[in-house]
Structure formats: structure tokens, C-alpha cells
Amino acid sequence: MTEAAFVDTNVFIYLYSEDETRKRDISQRAVDKYECAVSTQVLSEFSNVCVGKLKRPPYEVGLAIDEITGQTTVSLVDERIIKSALEIHGRYGYAYFDSLIIASALDSGCKYLITEDLADGQIIDGRLTIINIYLEKNAVRYLDL
């Protein structure tokens, strides 16, 4: 059985990056290895970065969204997730939007949250481990590189 991992926005940014080849390869390995989940927040943030910072045409970003949603489970950020994020923010001290990612990952039943932005190795609620797959030790441990 494949383990479930919630994938943060930056992983997909690297996956579609033309500049960060090492991180792109690691991102692809993660998406291939795990049963991946994302939220509507991740898809929105990805779209915003692609059309804004990366200057990609909207139709191209739409195609990328189709690819991402074709290989992941997408969870909707609703009022229940928002309230959970507020609790996580209060308990762990993460910024609200980071707490929203964590809440979505927990709600999706994921074992891992793959990101480079949060505290690597931290376990949330005794069931979600934050991993930065771009650290060499984690690329070996979680991706068999």
C-alpha cells in the first residue's frame, strides 16, 4: 500500500520549473512515490505563482492544473478546515495559511506533509510528519535517492 502525502504548493512550482532541475527531479520522484493529496488552496497558490511570478500563460497553467488534479486527490477548503486551521495556528504557532495547509493534510488522512517551508520532522497531532524532501537526508530516507 502506498503511503499518503499532502503536497504543498512549492513542490508543484519546482515540478514545473525550468530552472531548479534537482528540485524538479525530487518533486517528480515524490509525486510518483506517494498517493498525493492537495487542496484548493494549493491549486490557487500554484496558479497565482505561475501566472504572476513565472509569467506563464493562463491556458498553460490550466493544463498544469489538469495534470496535477489527474494524479492527486483534491480537498476543498471549507469552513470546517478553516476552523481546524485556526486551532492549529493557536496550538503550533504557524502562520494562518500554513495552518490551513496542515489542516487540509490532516483532513486528507495523510501520513506526510511534503513542503520545504515548515519545521522538518515535526509531527502534528501525533499522525502527520512534516518533511522537507529537498534536504539530502530526507531525499534518501523518503525517496530512496
- Contact present, 42 and 10 (Cβ < 8 Å): no
Give the per-residue pLDDT at 142. 84
Count of positions (residues) in the chain: 145
Confidence of residue 20 (pLDDT cuts 50, 70, 90): confident
- Contact present, 104 and 75 (Cβ < 8 Å): yes
Average pLDDT of 10-27?
92
Domain ranges of the chain: 4-140
Residue 77: strand, helix, or coil: coil
Give the per-residue pLDDT at 116. 93
The pTM assigned to this predicted structure is 0.94
- Contact present, 114 and 11 (Cβ < 8 Å): yes
Phi, psi of 130 (to 5 degrees): -85, 125
CATH superfamily, region 4-140: 5'-nuclease (3.40.50.1010)
Average pLDDT of 113-140?
93
Q: Record the cell numbers describing residue 52, joined without a space.
A: 504572476
Confidence of residue 1 (pLDDT cuts 50, 70, 90): low
Residue 86: strand, helix, or coil: helix
* Digit-coded pLDDT (tens) for 49-92: 999 999 999 999 999 999 999 999 999 999 999 999 999 999 99
Helix axes 96-107, 79-92, angle to 10 degrees: 120
Q: Is 7 exposed, middle or buried (0-12, 13-18, 19+ CB in 10 A)?
A: buried
